[in-house]
Each structure stands twice: as C-alpha cells, then as structure tokens.
Chains A and B, each alone.
Chain A
Amino acid sequence: MTTTSLTKSRGAGRAGDKVFSGATLAAGCLILAVLFGVALFLVVQAFPALVASPDKIQGGQGFFAYIWPIVVGTLIAAVIALAIATPVAIGVALFISHFAPRGLASGLGYVIDLLAAIPSVVYGAWGAAFLAKEISPLYNWLADNMGWVPLFQGPASATGKTILTAGIVLAVMVLPIITSLTREIFLQTPKLHEEAALALGATRWEMIRMAVLPFGRAGIVSAVMLGLGRALGETMAVALVLSSGALTASLIQSGNQTIAAEIALNFPEASGLKVSTLIAAGLVLFVITLGVNMIARWIITRHKEFSGAN
C-alpha cells in the first residue's frame, strides 16, 4: 500500500521501475534459457552414443558399462573431499566467527578466500608433483598396517597418485567455499540467542551447539552442497593428480576415474562416436549435479524455520 503510493508520487520512478523489473525478468529468463540450451545440446550430441550398438562404445560393452565405474569414481572422490573439508571448514568458520580476536579473524578470512582464487591447474600441479610423492610413505604404512580394511588394501601405489590424493586436493579446493559461506551464516546468528544461552550457564561450546549450529543448519547444508558441486565438476586437478584406471575399492592403489577428468583427458583426440560418448558422460554429470542440488533444496526447505531469511 505504502510502496504503491510512493512510486505513484514520483513520475520518473515509474519508468525506472519498469526498466528495472524488465531487466531482472530478462536476466531470470536468460539463466533458464542458457540452462535449457546446455541441456538440449548435451542430449542432442549425446544421442548417438546412447543408441549406438554396445560394441562401438569405448570398452565394447555399451554406454552403461562404460559410465557406471566413472560415476562411482566421481562420487568417491567427492565424498572423500567433503569428508575432509566439511569438519575443517566448519571449525575454521567457527573460529573466525566466535573465537578469534577481531584482527586475526579478518586476516584469516581473507587468506581463506584467497585459497579460492588459486587456479585449479595449480592445485593439480601441486598434487601431482608434490603431495603425491610426499604422501606415498603414508599409503605404504596404511597398506602394511591396515591392509585388512578393503579401503586400504595393498599394494599401495608407488607414485602416490591415487583417488585418496585426488580427494585431498579436492578437499583443499572446496574448503574456501564451505568456509566463507558457513562463516557468513554463523555471523548472522541472533545475538540474543547466543546471550540467552550463555546467561543460562552454557559454556561456549554448548552455546555454539545450542544456538549457532541449529540456526545455521540449512546454511551449512547448502554450503556443503555448493562444495560438492565443485568437487563433482573439478576437472584439471583430478586429471593431473589421479592415476586413473578401473574401479577399485582400495583408495591407496591407482585406479578409479572421474567423469570430468575422463572428458578432459580424452576429448582433445576424440572424433565421431567417441565425442558423443564423452558428451553423454557430461550429460550424466549434469544430471547428477542437478540431482544433488535438488536434494540440497529439499533439505533446506525442510529446515526453513531456522533459515536466516525469516
């Protein structure tokens, strides 16, 4: 009511409003159009591979046999990355928002954001040339002492370029995304909630558990999902770090492959049906990412009552 009367009172504002609402509408439609265009391109280009006779596809056993090991590989790498990055990121975010002295907090936040600015090829080169070599004694130790766990079954890779190394590199890459988002959310916790908790005799940790974390739950989930998106789609770092191969349960042997790396490694020399196969792999990744985002949305709406928006 009041807003309409305000815009009516100023003639120039009306034109401005129209232009602005038109522009936002156009931007919204453009996003949908781009998304639709990408999906259409993927489906059209992938179609030949989906209907081709199985023996024509790489591996000779059809598209499904080709794609499922690398789908699983992609998920393994992403799960490792999130398993490492999420607790660290939440810890760092809590430290910045609730524990660190103000000067240190802003400096630390800045450094974390800087991590996100490093190109992925640099992470890849670091992982392949440094981390893999340095971490391989640990893999040998794991194979010797914990080899009975299928995940650490030996013999360990001599080069250290395993899916676990790739997962660690991915963890470093998604860390800044999760950290900066969760930090912002923790900072939005209502001061009254925190003070109430402390007034009731809660320790700092109890206050965080009772006031900060429940309030930020939806935000944490969406931050993790954004990180997952990056981990699923990361190409160059995995292509450089991972010594790819057939699907293996052991994380310390060479083997496994992710969709994005598979595409990057084989696309330059591909032609004909091979291109379609790789684009179909891209389509599968697109669908997985879409699915992950929809699940994230669903989780967020379930916990709407805690969202910072209301």
Chain B
Amino acid sequence: MKASRIGRNSAIAVIAAGALALTACGSDNATNTAQSAAPSSSVKVTGTLTGIGSSAQGAAMDVWKTNFASANQGANVQYSPDGSGAGRKAILDGSAQFAGSDAYLSDAELASSKDKCGADGALNIPVYVSPIAVAFNLPDVKELKLDAPTVAKIFRGQVAKWNDPAIAALNPDAKLPDLKVTPVNRSDDSGTTSNFTDYLAAAAPEVWTDKAAGIWPASLKGENAKGTSGVVKTVTDTPGAVTYADDSAVSGKLGIAQIKVGGSFTKISADAAAKAVDAGKPVDGRNASDLSIKLDRKTTVEGAYPIVLVSFHVVCTTYPTQATADLVKAFESYVVSDAGQKAAADAAKSAPLSKTLQDKALKSIESIKVKA
C-alpha cells in the first residue's frame, strides 16, 4: 500500500509539475496571479531553503518542493519531517529558515523568536488543513451520526456495545449490531491525536476530562496501532472497531461518522473543513500579518466540520539577506496559491485553504523583508 502511494504521489508530482510549467509560460495572463505567484515573481530566486517540522505535512511538502524546484531553476527547498517541536526549535535557534508546525508558536516562543527573526518576531501561516475522520468497521452500517459527547464516550471505553442507547438515540434508522465497541487510537505521538483530543476536550468537556495532547491518555484502556496506516489497518481487520484518522487514509471498507455541529450533522469534506478553519478566531496579541488561528471546536456554523488538523509554516518577518527573503516569499506564495493547495490536495488529500484565507496569507507573506 505504501509503495503504491509513493508511486501515485510521484505521478501526481510529475503531472502537477507539468501543469505548473504550463502556467508559468502563460503567466502574463493577468487572471493567473495567484496560481503563478511563484514562477512569475519579479525577482529570480536562487539558493536553498531549509525547513524542519511536522511530519503531517510530509506528503504535501514533497510535492511542494518538487514543483517549486522545477519551476524555479537554481532554487531548492529541503524539508526534514522531524516533528513540529523540532521545527519550532530550529527556527527559534536559526538553524532552519522555516518550520512546519501543527501548532502555532506560543507567546513565549514568539517572544524568543525576536532573537533571530527581527523585532517583529516570526509569522505563523496556515498552509495545510486536513479533516480527521471518525471511521468505524460495522458489517452492515456505513453511515452513523454522532455528537461530541458520544464520540468522547466511545473513545473513553464508556460505550460497551454498538446498540447502546446513546448511539441508538442519534441513529433511530440505523440497524445497530449487538457488537463490542473497540476504540483504536494512535500508539505514537501525533498531531492527529492532539487535534482529535483538543476537539473532544473542547466540545465534550464533561466526558473528556483529559487535556489535549499528542500522546493518547495513558489511563484509558483501548487498542492502539502505530501510524495512520496502522490504525486504519487494525480497524479494517476488526469488526466493531472505531478510530480517528486523516480522511485521506480511510479505506472504502470503513464507515465514516457524521458529526453533530449546531443543530445538524456534518459530513466530512474539504469544504466543511475549510469552513471550520474560517470560523476560527485570530489569536490575540499578535502582529497584524500573523495568521495564528485558534480553532473554535464548539462552532455551530452550519456545514463546518470541526475535527480538523491545521498545520502552519512558521517564517521570520525579516531575513538577513535579500536572496533568502525573496526565496521564502516565492516558496510560501506558491504553497498557499491555488496551484500549491491543489497539488497538496491531490497528493495528500488535504482540504485547500479558502479564498479569504489564501488572500490573507499572501498579504502576510508579502510583508516579509530583509533585515534593516
């Protein structure tokens, strides 16, 4: 499965690179500004950009750097998916020019970023949005409606059987089997777990009494497996099992739950995820071009899907040389452009950023300067 995915990714990368080259040729067409931001930037960019960070962005990063390098002769991006924490540490101590992180910089980190990034510190730019599905393996049930407290109860092991009244009340029409509920969580430290538990802690605080964390609470009994592919495989093999995983990785054999938002149930989709991100609030006390988003997990916006992972690129507001600043601007502009978001959506099945967020991101990328 892994091999086929790599094969598919590289095939997409080749196609996307070809498409990008074509847009680059036609870049004098004014309507194409967003798409061709990277290739048509006024300055020719060269050099190598080093990034460290989140492995959740790994698949998207692969196509971004391939496409960017093939559109810009002499420019090159390196990314090592060592984890969000490592990425944030690297940009703070100046060993990387940008970081990929599943969380925006904390206030303390932002303050210490002024050392290397100039008086305005670092910028957090959302680049990668991925909806997290609640996927289950029930022989004859493909659709389930669940609300946050029920999901929390299921994953805390407080629901013994699938025909439990709590689930039946939400699904009056479904034929629920008398089958043991087996919740499966990630055994490794992951951004998916951290966003999922953040959702549960915010939307069902009376049931989910643990804090949001990348490591599943040790006090809970349950099954687990390593990595997204591990949990999906385990659930696929085990009738009655349920897990949370990137929507892109859930195989067709599994059912995916609709989540109650406000008064209705939302089906998982890229649009619904983007809507939930737009419903988030900017974080207080940041400078105007910073795009840190505090997701509103309790949102009641119709059609929003609040279990999403938002991953950021953390960049400096100022760089020591013009060449580096130009390179960062060109690369980040490409990443948030339609072409970049589409490439990521194809390769990693992420949800493209909304138009409003894209425009905001482009504007804050434009504010990156050379150190005075």
Interface residues of A (CB under 8 A from B): 58-59, 128-129, 132-133, 155, 157-159, 161, 239-240, 242-246, 253-255, 265-266, 268-272, 274
Q: Are A268 and B222 also in contact (CB < 8 A) when A158-B241, A159-B238 are?
A: no
Q: Are A246 and B219 in contact (CB under 8 A)?
A: yes
Which of the candidate stretches B26-34, B111-119, B161-169, B226-234 sits at the interface with the other chain?
B226-234
Q: Is B225 an interface residue (CB 8 A)?
A: yes
Q: Is B359 an interface residue (CB 8 A)?
A: no
Interface residues of chain A: helix, strand, loop or mixed (majority): loop
Stretch at the interface among B78-86, B145-153, B263-271, B304-312: B78-86
Tell me the B177-196 residues at the A interface (CB within 8 Å): 180, 182, 184, 187-191
Assess whether A269 is in contact with B225, with CB atoms less than 8 Å apart. Answer: no
Q: Is the CB of A128 within 8 A of B233?
A: yes
**Given A128-B230, A158-B223, A254-B221, A266–B188 Cβ distance below 8 Å?**
yes
Q: List 20 A-B contacts (CB under 8 A).
A: A58-B215, A59-B218, A128-B225, A128-B230, A132-B237, A158-B182, A159-B182, A161-B223, A240-B226, A243-B222, A266-B189, A268-B55, A268-B82, A268-B189, A269-B189, A269-B190, A270-B189, A271-B83, A271-B86, A272-B89
Query: Using a CB-CB cutoff of 8 Å, which residues 75-129 of chain B contact chain A?
Result: 82-86, 88-89
Shortest distance between the CB of B28 and any CB in chain A (Å): 44
The minimal Cβ–Cβ distance linking A151 to chain B, given in whole angstroms, is: 17
Count of residues in B whose CB is under 8 Å from the partner chain: 34
Residue on B nearest A240 in the bound complex, by CB: B226
B182 near A240 (CB under 8 angstroms)?
no
Interface set of B (CB-CB < 8 Å, partner A)? 55, 82-86, 88-89, 180, 182, 184, 187-191, 214-215, 218-226, 230, 233-234, 237-238, 240-241
Contact across chains for B238 and A243 when beta carbons are under 8 A apart: no
A18 to B361: give the CA distance in the assembly, Å: 69
Q: Which residues of B contact A243 (CB under 8 A)?
A: 184, 187, 222-225, 234
Nearest CB on B from A158, distance (A): 4
Is the pair A269, B223 in contact by a Cβ cutoff of 8 Å?
A: no
Which of B82, B215, B226, B233: most chain A CB closer than 10 A? Answer: B226
List, in ascending order, chain B residues with CB within 8 A of A255's CB. 221
Max chain A Cβ within 10 angstroms of own Cβ: one of B55, B84, B89, B225: B225
Contacts of B237 in A (CB 8 A): 129, 132-133, 159
A244 contacts B224, C-beta separation under 8 Å: yes
Q: Does A159 contact B223, Cβ atoms closer than 8 Å?
A: yes
> Which of chain A's residues have a CB closer than 8 A to the CB of B226?
239-240, 265
User: What residue of chain B has the Cβ atom nearest to residue A246's Cβ?
Assistant: B218
If A239-B226, A265-B189, A266-B189 touch, whether A159 touches B221 (CB-CB below 8 Å) is: no
A132 — which chain B residues lie within 8 A by C-beta?
A: 237
Q: How far is A255 from B220 in the complex, measured between Cα atoms in Å?
A: 10
In whole angstroms, how far apart are the Cα atoms of A243 and B240 in the complex? 16
Q: Are B223 and A271 in contact (CB under 8 A)?
A: no
Given contacts A158-B180, A265-B187, A266-B188, contact A245 B221 (CB under 8 A): yes
B83 touching A268, Cβ below 8 Å: yes
CB contacts (< 8 Å) of B219 on chain A: these are: 246
User: Complex formed: what's the CA distance from A240 to B237 in Å?
Assistant: 15
Chain A residues lying within 8 Å of B89, measured Cβ to Cβ, are 271-272
Residue among A158, A254, A265, A270 having the largest count of chain B Cβ atoms under 10 Å: A158
